[in-house]
Amino acid sequence: MMERGISKRIKSIKFALLSPDEVRRMTASTIITADTYDDDGFPIDMGLMDSHLGVIEPGLRCKTCGGRVDDCPGHFGHIDLAMPVIHVGYVKEIKILLQATCKSCGRLLLTKKQLDDYAKERETIEDMGGGHLEVRLVTKETAKDASKRQICPHCATEQSKITLDKPTTFREDGHKLTPKEVRERLERIPDEDLGPLGIAPGVARPEWMVLTALLVPPVTVRPSITLESGDRSEDDLTHKLVDVLRINQRLRENRDAGAPQLIVEDLWELLQYHTTTYFDNQTSGIPPARHRSGRPLKTLVQRLKGKEGRFRSNLSGKRVNFSARTVISPDPLLSMNEVGVPLEAARELTVPIRVQDYNIDFVKEWVSKGPIPEGDGYQAGVNYVIRSDGRRIRVTDKNAETVAETIENGYIVERQLMDGDIVLFNRQPSLHRMSMMAHEVRVMPHKTFRLNLSVCPPYNADFDGDEMNLHALQSEEARAEAKILMKVQ
Ligand SMILES: [Mg+2]
Ligand SMILES: [Zn+2]
Ligand SMILES: [Zn+2]
């Protein structure tokens, strides 16, 4: 029996950081070589296209799960970094942590009394039910108070001034701190002192903000494309990871060979540059990495951010089927309840008809006329027949008669729009409910939607190039609702 109502309720969410151990445990392969494919065009093991990370070519099988292109979701890999590198996404937090903790003993620069006061305050907030409001990784107030203190209350060491040279260079009284030194400092902060800083001990350690292992996304996230010429073109992320791998390799070799400190440091900085631009290629203070053509690479942050990014373009905004968009123009001869639909749009937009005893003969006859029935004026044709098993069959002039023969009860036939159909008409920005109203279709020549001038005010439309959207309703309920609730009057 299915239980009704809410069975689980989210009480809180904890944000964690990935530890290098966790990165290594969760990955399917260690990536060590910048090469991608061998001479025969197969992915090289431990390379960026390693088939343990998933497959993008039909026919090949994933070496981790055995699945083919459509079954395998892809698996992560990782690169072991020769030297630690600052994660650009966390520089703000790292700076605060360095300022708020002792350079020598690593303790939070607050007295016992101050800590007790914080604990009390926190309790009251939680009692008031406001505990869930704390979402910051590092709580500003605690950190601010702590960083004001010059002398450590625990070991009496005098503190020096921490500054940040954007994007990722930390300095202490002007002296440069290497990522390794930064990491060692963060390691010294005891778990007990993390709570007051707003970090959940057990699921996050501050030193994890300095990377020693870099996650490599599955190949499905960065598929290579084969050009018409037969050449392979790699994704921007892959290009960037190639750079990381090359420098990482050179850095390791030079360090192991005991090369001069200066050379090692230069390579280390280069590795920092490549990982930083791998995360965000618009980091201020450093030049963006570019293609040979001069186009800047699109890396992780660029995929997510902005209007064309994953959030606004792919997750909040989605394309809808059975809809059309074009320029609008006036037509005083239409009723205000009508909308003029261009013939070509009407042929593309469809309404489903369920085949039953009462209409089967009629529908068969209709389908046999194909997508563009002959006769005077516009006549709605049929674009698709959907069988009971869900298979879609496109109706063409050639197959119309044979498809019509196969129609049975339970099939769905998608017929084109015709005069009198109820559709929704919308002009953005949709500021009030009258921005979306129900209209009756009038199929017309030319390529614009036509509307009576008296409906311009609710849509706030004029004809200097305004475009509007039209949605063909797909169910009897939707049509009834639109007709009763959404008419212009
Ligand atoms: Mg306008
Ligand atoms: Zn797989
Ligand atoms: Zn101290």
Rounded to two decimals, the pTM is 0.74
- Here the tokens at position 387 are 């069988």
State residue 249 phi and psi, 5-degree precision. -65, -45
Contact (Cβ atoms closer than 8 angstroms) between residue 150 and residue 100: no
The reply to whether 291 falls in a domain is no
Regarding whether 365 and 424 lie in a shared domain, the answer is no
The reply to whether 447 falls in a domain is yes
Contacts of 135 (CB under 8 A, 6+ apart): 15
pLDDT digits (tens, 9 = 90+) for 52-109: 999 888 888 899 999 888 889 999 999 999 999 999 999 999 999 999 999 999 998 8
State the pairing for strand pair 232-233/422-426: unpaired
Ligand 1 mean position, distance from CA 314 (Å): 27
Contact (Cβ atoms closer than 8 angstroms) between residue 414 and residue 386: yes
Regarding whether 371 and 386 lie in a shared domain, the answer is yes
CA 489 to each of CA 326, 424, 455, 476: distance values in angstroms, whole numbers, following the listed order: 24, 14, 10, 21
Regarding whether 404 and 453 lie in a shared domain, the answer is no
Query: Which of helix, strand or coil describes residue 34?
Result: coil
Q: Which ligand is nearest to the CA of 52?
A: 2
* Helix, strand, coil abundance in the chain, percent, nearest 5: 35, 20, 45
Q: Which ligand is nearest to the CA of 54?
A: 2
| Residue of 95, 121, 97, 118 lying closest to 107 (CA atoms) | 97
Torsion sign over Cα 52, 214, 243, 279: positive
Q: Which ligand is nearest to the CA of 75?
A: 2
Torsion sign over Cα 356, 357, 362, 366: positive
Ligand 1 mean position, distance from CA 344 (Å): 24
Contact (Cβ atoms closer than 8 angstroms) between residue 24 and residue 38: no
Q: Which ligand is nearest to the CA of 146?
A: 3
State residue 386 phi and psi, 5-degree precision. -110, 120
Regarding whether 326 and 402 lie in a shared domain, the answer is no
Regarding whether 462 and 342 lie in a shared domain, the answer is yes
| CA–CA–CA angle 361, 365, 366 (5° rounding) | 115
Regarding whether 333 and 198 lie in a shared domain, the answer is no
**416/395 Cα distance (integer angstroms):** 12
The reply to whether 50 falls in a domain is yes
Q: Which ligand is nearest to the CA of 468?
A: 1
**Final residue of a structural domain among 388, 415, 442:** 415
CATH code, domain with 344: 2.40.40.20
Q: Look up the domain containing 460 and give its range.
A: 321-349+417-489
Regarding whether 431 and 421 lie in a shared domain, the answer is yes
**193/200 Cα distance (integer angstroms):** 10
pLDDT digits (tens, 9 = 90+) for 415-428: 999 999 999 999 99
Contact (Cβ atoms closer than 8 angstroms) between residue 349 and residue 450: no
Ligand 3 mean position, distance from CA 159 (Å): 9
CATH code, domain with 394: 3.30.1490.180
Ligand 2 mean position, distance from CA 71 (Å): 8
**Final residue of a structural domain among 394, 415, 436:** 415
Ligand 2 mean position, distance from CA 213 (Å): 22
Contact (Cβ atoms closer than 8 angstroms) between residue 401 and residue 369: no
State residue 347 phi and psi, 5-degree precision. -70, -25
**268/7 Cα distance (integer angstroms):** 52
Half-sphere exposure of 75 (CA within 13 A, CB side): 25
Regarding whether 202 and 334 lie in a shared domain, the answer is no
**102/240 Cα distance (integer angstroms):** 37
Contacts of 48 (CB under 8 A, 6+ apart): 31, 34, 36, 216, 219, 238, 241, 242, 245
Ligand 3 mean position, distance from CA 106 (Å): 6
Q: What is the DSSP letter of 52?
A: G
Ligand 3 mean position, distance from CA 181 (Å): 16
**83/179 Cα distance (integer angstroms):** 8
Regarding whether 411 and 396 lie in a shared domain, the answer is yes
Contact (Cβ atoms closer than 8 angstroms) between residue 435 and residue 428: yes
Ligand 3 mean position, distance from CA 61 (Å): 55
Beta bridge partners of 233: 225
| Residue of 190, 160, 156, 158 lying closest to 177 (CA atoms) | 160
Is the preceding peptide bond at 167 cis, omega within 30 degrees of 0? yes
- Here the tokens at position 265 are 């440091």
**276/287 Cα distance (integer angstroms):** 11
**59/392 Cα distance (integer angstroms):** 26
Contacts of 362 (CB under 8 A, 6+ apart): none
**Number of separate domains in the chain:** 3
Regarding whether 428 and 361 lie in a shared domain, the answer is no
Regarding whether 360 and 460 lie in a shared domain, the answer is no
Q: Which ligand is nearest to the CA of 460?
A: 1
Ligand 2 mean position, distance from CA 459 (Å): 50
The reply to whether 121 falls in a domain is yes
Ligand 1 mean position, distance from CA 466 (Å): 5
Ligand 1 mean position, distance from CA 461 (Å): 6
Query: Which of helix, strand or coil describes residue 481?
Result: helix
Contact (Cβ atoms closer than 8 angstroms) between residue 301 and residue 282: yes
Tens digits of pLDDT across the chain (489 residues): 555 777 888 887 788 899 999 999 999 999 999 888 888 888 888 999 999 999 888 888 899 999 888 889 999 999 999 999 999 999 999 999 999 999 999 998 888 887 777 777 767 766 666 555 554 556 777 788 888 888 888 888 888 999 998 889 999 998 999 999 999 999 999 998 888 888 888 889 999 999 999 999 999 999 988 888 878 888 999 999 999 999 999 999 999 998 899 999 999 999 999 999 999 999 888 999 999 889 999 999 999 998 888 998 888 877 899 999 999 999 999 999 999 999 999 999 999 999 999 999 999 999 999 999 998 889 999 999 999 998 999 999 999 999 999 999 999 999 999 999 999 999 999 999 999 999 999 999 999 999 999 999 999 999 999 999 999 999 999 999 999 999 998
